[in-house]
Every structure is written in structure tokens, then in C-alpha cells.
Structure 1
Amino acid sequence: MKDLTIDYALRATWQSVIKMYNEEAKNYGLTMALGFTLLSIDPKKGTPSTALGPKMGMESTSLSRILKNIEEKGYIIRKPNPNDGRGVLIHLTELGLSKRKDSKEVVLRFNDAVKQDIDENDLAGFFKTIGVINKLILDKNIYRKTTTN
């Protein structure tokens, strides 16, 4: 089966990436999920808490747990959103900015390592393929029901 399906290749590769990132993140007192969250927060203006979930593709329950965790660690602070009286902006603290920088360096090292071993045209083809897959999913063109007479 693993040689036959696209989803298996995507899933297996992503699981390997997660494992690799989590192993490296331990060196910084982080997890991949925490690092990804820090990278998703605008370091200058902050990010509305309601925008983080969709930006990261996460459910609000999981995100709430992560935000609570990184707030307890002192990586973020919550401030009222001046443009929305009911909303909250998530801002990085100095420690959060430092951990964000560490996370960014880890991601960039991974990207550099991959780019050293994969031809530029092959990488462009990879991104084109991923783009087509995402478009098929977003346009709901994979499992669209067809009507029969």
C-alpha cells in the first residue's frame, strides 16, 4: 500500500518531519507545536487569538491548550485588541521572541538541508504538486458527488 498511495507518502513524510522537529525542539525546551505557534504570531503587532487557529489549521481546543502552556512559560502575553473590544491580541514577550528566533532557525536549517539535496526544478515541481493537491481539496473536487439519471 505504501508504494501505491499519495496520502501514505504525505502522512509518513509529515510524521518523520514532526519527529525530527520534536527531537530538535527539545534542545530549546520546546515542542514542534509550540515552535509553530510562536512562528505564527506576528512579532511586531501581535496576532488576534481568533486568527491563530485558522492560520495554523488547528481546532480552538488544541490551540487554547498550547496558548495556556506558552503563556505559563512566559513566551506570550494577552492584551485587549484596540480594534475589537471583545478580542484579544497575542503578543510575544522577550523570551517568546527568543524562542521564536530559535524555532525559525531550526526551520531554516531544515529547508537549507533539503535544498542542498534536491534540485531546484524538482523542488519547484514538489511545490506545484502540493499546490494542485491543496486546490483540489479546497475546491472540493475530490469527493464531489456526481448525479446520475
Structure 2
Amino acid sequence: MSKIFEDKFSELQADMVSICLEYVENRAEKIFIYCSFEAKVISSDFFYCINGEIIMRHKLNNAIDNTQELQYDTSVERQRGVLSVLNNNIKEMIDLCEEYNREMPSEIKLIYNVVNNSLKADYKYGIVYSNHPDKVANNISMEWFEEMKSDL
């Protein structure tokens, strides 16, 4: 029974990677996906490494040579569509954890290396931000973005 849970949980993560890869039209070196479920609040975010630069999803075109490469469609509608899929995947993870009597991570950080076709996942189960007076999930996602930028 554990194998079934693991397979289903992995499928949901793969779906997250797939929608983010579709958004970037398969033109990225790495995809970073942030998922949060804390204090019954679902949140997600995503950003990329393109041409060696860590870049927010709405600024993808800043990382390309506009004279040689096709522009990315970074419209608000597309961004919302991806976030909707990510949030639905998180909801499915919550349901899956309940079904199999497993603890749902409060935070999931996924790094998909497009070049190597490898996925690294980091899970946290404790409180990440909800006990902080001024922080929300978006703050944590932005901190991770800045951390990844400084690691380059």
C-alpha cells in the first residue's frame, strides 16, 4: 500500500513539473516549484533558471537574446493557469495524505533539472511562517528565490 501512495504522490509532483515546463515551452535549464500548506492555506509559486540566470516567471523574456530567441508568453492568464494547476495538485496531495493516513508536508520545494531530467524534492513538516507576525507563504517563496539567485 505504501508503494501506491508514493507513486500517486510522485505523479502529482510530475504533473507540477509538466505544467511548469509547458509554461516555459521546454526552454529552461531548471524549474523551481514552491508549494505550501500551512494553517489550512494552500499556496504555490514557480520560477526558472534560463541561460544561467535565476528569473521570475513574469520576467522570462529578460533572460533571452530577443534578436535570436522566441519570446515567452508570460501573460497573467498563463501564470494564473499554472498556479491553478499547482494549487489543485496540492489539494490532491492533501486528499491523498488523508486517504493514506500520512502527514502532509507544510512545505515542498521542487527543483527539476531539465538538462539531466532529474527531480530534487525537499519537504518540511513543521511550521514555516504561520507563527511569524509578518510573513506569508509568498515571503518564503521569495526568500528561496533570492537564495537560489545567490547560489549561482
Same fold, TM exceeding 0.5? Answer: no
| TM-score normalised by structure 2 residue count | 0.30
Q: Which one has the bigger helix percentage?
A: 1
Q: Report the structure number with the largest CA radius of gyration.
A: 1
| TM-score normalised by structure 1 residue count | 0.31
Ranked by relative contact order (alpha carbons within 8 Å, sequence separation 6 or more), the top structure is 2
